[in-house]
């Protein structure tokens, strides 16, 4: 299980990226929202979509959930 966070700031395409706790691209504390502990990024992205409908996995730490 890893801790996951979503970036409060959207990317230029409107996506809010989901990162795990070890990601080198994890936003600074004030720019991220804690999502919880999940066994995979798919569950974390689903949780993020409850707040930000256009959420997407980070291309660095959540490649299997990165779609755009």
pLDDT tens figures, 7-28: 999 999 999 999 999 999 999 9
Query: In the beta sheet, which residues pair with residue 37?
Result: 3
pTM of the model: 0.94
Q: Does the pLDDT of residue 1 top 80, yes or no?
A: yes
For range 31-58, the mean pLDDT: 97
Contact assessment for residue 22 and residue 60, using Cβ atoms and an 8 Å cutoff = no
* pLDDT of the residue at 19: 97
Distance (Å, whole) CA 41 – CA 19: 8
């Amino acid at each position: 299980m890893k801790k996951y966070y979503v970036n409060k700031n959207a990317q230029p395409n409107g996506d809010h990226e989901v990162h795990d706790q070890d990601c080198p691209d994890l936003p600074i504390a004030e720019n991220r929202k804690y999502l919880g502990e999940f066994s995979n990024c798919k569950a974390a992205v689903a949780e993020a979509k409850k707040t930000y409908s256009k959420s997407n996995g980070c291309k660095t730490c959540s490649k299997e959930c990165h779609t755009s």
